[in-house]
């Protein structure tokens, strides 16, 4: 007995980035390029003293902190809407 003939199998599409993900990658690349171009030292004055560090860190560290805090708040927001 023969099995029924099957038509062409439908292949499920793979992962495709959303517009939001593409925009996030572009912003990260722009921040990195901008930070890597600025490798000169900068003097930062605090209330208790001053420090001299490359401008790269002045740009990259706040960007990283903002990125991580955005992920954390997004996680809590999605979790709150599920409950």
Looking at residue 26, its pLDDT comes to: 93
Whether 13 is in a domain gets the answer no
Whether 60 is in a domain gets the answer yes
Gyration radius of the chain's alpha carbons: 24
Whether 12 is in a domain gets the answer no
Under-70 pLDDT residues of the chain: 1-8, 10-12, 83
pTM: 0.61
Whether 66 is in a domain gets the answer yes
Which is nearest to 59 in space by CA: 19, 82, 32? Answer: 32
- Count of domains for the chain: 1
Whether 83 is in a domain gets the answer yes
Contact of 57 with 44, CB cutoff 8 Å:
no
Which is nearest to 57 in space by CA: 41, 46, 69? Answer: 41
Whether 32 is in a domain gets the answer no
The dihedral formed by the CA atoms of 12, 13, 14 and 19, expressed in degrees to the nearest 10: -150
DSSP for residue 47: S
Whether 68 is in a domain gets the answer yes
């Amino acid at each position: 007995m023969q099995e029924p003939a099957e038509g062409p199998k439908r292949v499920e599409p793979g992962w495709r980035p959303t517009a939001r993900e593409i925009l996030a990658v572009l912003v990260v690349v722009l921040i990195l390029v901008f930070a890597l171009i600025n490798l000169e030292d900068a003097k930062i004055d605090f209330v208790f003293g001053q420090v001299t560090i490359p401008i790269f860190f002045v740009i990259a560290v706040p960007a990283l902190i903002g990125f991580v805090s955005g992920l954390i708040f997004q996680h809590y927001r999605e979790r709150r809407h599920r409950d």
